[in-house]
Structure 1
Amino acid sequence: MNEPSANHSTFVIKRNYKHSPTRVFAAWAGQAAKAGWFPKAEEFDFRVGGREFNRGGPSGGPVYTFDACYQEIVPDKRIVYSYTMDMEDTRISVSVTTVEFIPAEGGTRLIYTEQGVFLDGHDTPEQREHGTKWLLDRLGDALDSQ
């Protein structure tokens, strides 16, 4: 068992996509579109106060649970959500995330900001940032393949 600890951290990831803010936003707002680059949600209610919930993980490995609540949605501009991440029955982090969609020459500048507390050494900000970068790369691939 790890010693109780709370590691607070913020990271920012910026990506440019060659698609309009409306199209990039839609890839977050629709369950089918989001499933093309993010783990498929068991529950997906994209509205303020709505929930997104999924479970999964590597074959033979631990099950991770993502449980989010949408706090603010400004169509084509911004999404703010809070979420918990559990590994099996252990809470490993709690975060607030802001995703901004900014018109840019030739497409969209996406700014992803996560403010989190990573609990008891079960996860680190560096691991979460690495995984989020991978997901945002998958988003770009999904947009380009449509």
Structure 2
Amino acid sequence: MSQHSVTHATFVVERVYDAPPERVFRAWADPAAKARWFAGPEEWENSAFELDFRVGGREFNRGGPKEGPVHTFEARYHDIVPGRRIIYAYEMRLDGRRISVSLATVEFTPEGKGTRLTLTEQGAFLDGYDNPALREQGTRELLDALEAELTRAPANA
């Protein structure tokens, strides 16, 4: 696109998982677990994944459909409270072109024997390449994949 624009939006997605907060948090913190569920649709290929889960640490994920385009997620962790909260800023690129910059907060709250996860994202969607509705849909799909990971993995994983 030749015109420069920005659309600002905030959305909140909540889920309740049948696992304690420490276990749901661990699925975000453990590189092997996160690589399984934070990967896009099944038919996508992932070409790179790195997770340095600490305040100041970086996460990098690149992949997409075989025929393209290449999606790149690059995040920096700003706040981590084990079992309670994660705050990170990230940018998304599509074939190398920055399409958005976001701040995300993930909160883990005990609910019965499970966990209420609340993800709040504040995004700047750039030049018409991405939009808030698509990002929220993708976030919901990733949280579905997290649920499948929690169901698949043994409780002590």
In the superposition, the TM-score normalised over structure 2's length comes to 0.90
State the SS of the aligned residue for 2:4.
coil
Q: Which runs of 4+ in 1 moved over 3 A?
A: none
Give 1:97 shift. Answer: 0.2
Distance 2:35 2:52 in 1: 13
Which of 43, 46, 70 is equivalent to 2:53? 46
Question: Is 1:12 aligned to 2:19, yes or no?
Answer: no
Distance 1:88 1:61 in 2: 8
Give 2:147's aligned residue: 140
Q: Which runs of 5+ in 1 are unaligned?
A: none
Question: Is 1:33 aligned to 2:33, yes or no?
Answer: yes
Distance 2:68 2:50 in 1: 22
Give 1:89 shift. Answer: 2.0
- Sequence identity percentage: 58
After superposition, residues 119-130 of structure 1 pair within 5 angstroms as 119-130=126-137
Distance 2:34 2:10 in 1: 24
Equivalenced residue count is 146
Give 1:25 shift. Answer: 0.2
Q: Which runs of 5+ in 2 are unaligned?
A: 40-45
Letter in 1 for 2:87: V
State the SS of the aligned residue for 1:23.
helix
Instruction: Output the aligned Cα RMSD.
Output: 1.0
Give 1:91's aligned residue: 98
After superposition, residues 71-86 of structure 1 pair within 5 angstroms as 71-86=78-93
Question: Is 1:65 aligned to 2:59, yes or no?
Answer: no
